[in-house]
Amino acid sequence: MSDKFSIDDILAEIGSDNDVSKKTAKSSGVADKKAPSQSTPGATMILNSIDEKKKTQGKENTIEISTENLQHLKGVVGEGQRRPKESAQQTQKTAEPQKAKPSADENRYKKLSEFDDDEKPIKRRLNMAQDNTMSAKSSKIAKPSKEKPAVEASGKQENKSQTIFGSDDEKHKKKAEKISVSINTSANMTFKEKVKQYRFLFEELTKRDFKKKYKRTLLGVLWSVIAPFLTFLVRYFVFGYIFHRHDSGFVIYLLTGTLMFTFFTNATTNGMFSMYSNGGILSKVKVPKSLFVLSSNSAATFNFFLTLIVYFIFMIICNVSFGPHLLLMIYPILCLIIFNIGMSYILSALFVFFRDMQYLYQIFTMLLMYMSAIFYEVKHFPEELRFVFNINPVYHYISYMRQLVMQSSVPGFAEHIICLSFALGMLGIGYFVHSKTEQKFVYYY
């Protein structure tokens, strides 16, 4: 509430200025206790009373009535919010401020649930009631103070009636309402200019993501090469020399899996945070939100290509036969990039609403890692369990890479279709979820 003082206080004070009896002030105090949660009518009321004051200087009688009337109206509103039927009837009978009903608060929730059913008739009745009381007094009251409070009262009635405990009704209402926002910022812009403009923003965002990642590091971008190099080296020694699996090509099998899977987790985890961590910007500046998802993904992709250089070094160490077929590597990588973007769209939207996602996702990626057969081979599994790998898109991308690198052969046409459809499917779902929810993000930052 913006004012420290409720409208009752202010009205009471204005009233006492004009010799209104203390009774009014007292009853306003009662009204205050009656309805602590109710919102005060605010500036309109005060203004009207000021107008009254000016117009009818010296005519204390009129002012008294208008103040009383406002007071009374307030009573109607306050009562109406809780017990609409009775108050409406009472209004027709009496013009005096009503007394508190102690049981009202206890019955409040029950009454509210009944409320939406007969909301409309009540509203009509309440308005009628007000009109009646108003017209009775209108001879003495100036026009503005008659009109505005009545409008406000009915407005409040509507507000309260939207406080419904189930959300179904609300949904229906919202559908029925006309919503339209048209901002023709780019009305006189060609498609080319638009692309140019967004490309600039995209570049700046990607630069920023990358810069922030290596802020305050001595080696900077070099870490993108050093870190995977060291990881690969550790795995090379642990599995090659300690477990003596050097001969069977297991090391390159493992590194291929690690390469692809790390890219997947890095890109999607970055993507997950992209909406929330840019909340400060997104809630203040109108920018296409999906650019932030894309830029975080492109920073991760850039990192991946640096890691790919390291991977090539290890391919040489492991005596992989090089040939033009390796150019086809770009296919599973491209599919994985698309898949990552789709996944990031979903995760980033979910993360805005539920911060739990980061912990859940950690568990999920661990599960997925075991489902991707990075440390072991699928052939050790019984036939009926292998479907677990086949429904995992990341496994498809990894095994595509493995076949290219280790067997120097290109997977079949069906495999290409599977890889691409997983990627496009994920992108489609992700984009759909994101665009459905992005309007609500601003309330959750």
Partner 1 sequence: MVIDVKNVTVQYTISNFREIGLKEYLIKKVKRDIKTEQFTAVDNVSFSLDEGDFLGIIGTNGAGKSTLLKVISGIMKPAKGSVTVNGKIAALLELGSGFDPDLTIKENIFLRGAMLGYTKEFVTEKYKDILEYAELTEFENRAFKQLSSGMKSRLAFSISCLMEPEILILDEVLSVGDAAFRAKSEATMVNIIKSGCCTLFVSHSLPQVRRLCNKVLWLDKGKQIAFGDVNTVCDKYDRYIRTVTNMQNIKM
Q: Which is nearer to partner 1, 163 or 321 (CB)?
A: 163
Q: Which is nearer to partner 1, 19 or 193 (CB)?
A: 193
Q: Which is nearer to partner 1, 234 or 360 (CB)?
A: 360
Shortest reach from residue 214's CB to partner 1, in Å: 12
Shortest reach from residue 40's CB to partner 1, in Å: 8
Q: Which is nearer to partner 1, 40 or 269 (CB)?
A: 40
Structure tokens at 250: 């297991």
The distance of Cα 283 from the centroid of its chain, to the nearest Å, equals 11
Angle, helices 60-82/22-34, rounded to nearest 10 degrees: 20
Separation CA 254–CA 276 (nearest Å): 34
Shortest reach from residue 338's CB to partner 1, in Å: 25
Shortest reach from residue 13's CB to partner 1, in Å: 5
Shortest reach from residue 239's CB to partner 1, in Å: 37
Q: Which is nearer to partner 1, 102 or 166 (CB)?
A: 166
**Quick one: CA dihedral 307, 308, 313, 314, positive or negative?**
positive
Binding site for partner 1 (CB under 8 A): 1-5, 9-10, 13-14, 39-40, 42-44, 46-47, 50, 152, 155, 159, 162-167, 170, 174, 177-187, 193, 196-197, 200-201, 203-205, 207-208, 211-212, 215, 280-287, 354-357, 360, 439, 442-444
Q: Which is nearer to partner 1, 183 or 218 (CB)?
A: 183
Q: Which is nearer to partner 1, 143 or 286 (CB)?
A: 286
Backbone angles phi, psi at 167, to 5 degrees: -100, 0
**235 near 254, Cβ under 8 Å?**
yes
Burial class (CB in 10 A: 0-12, 13-18, 19+), 177: exposed
Shortest reach from residue 186's CB to partner 1, in Å: 8
DSSP string, 17-73: HTT--HHHHHHHHHHHHH-TTPPP-THHHHHHHHHHHHHTTT-HHHHHHHHHHHHHH
Burial class (CB in 10 A: 0-12, 13-18, 19+), 41: buried
Q: Which is nearer to partner 1, 107 or 186 (CB)?
A: 186
DSSP string, 189-255: --HHHHHHHHHHHHHHHHHHHHHHHTTT-SSGGGHHHHHHHHHHHHHHHIIIIIS--TTTTHHHHHH
**Quick one: CA dihedral 71, 74, 78, 83, positive or negative?**
positive
Q: Which is nearer to partner 1, 98 or 438 (CB)?
A: 438
Structure tokens at 88: 């409406």
* Residue 404 neighbours by CB distance under 10 Å: 22
Shortest reach from residue 177's CB to partner 1, in Å: 5
Shortest reach from residue 285's CB to partner 1, in Å: 4
* Residue 187 neighbours by CB distance under 10 Å: 7
DSSP tag of 164: -
Shortest reach from residue 217's CB to partner 1, in Å: 13
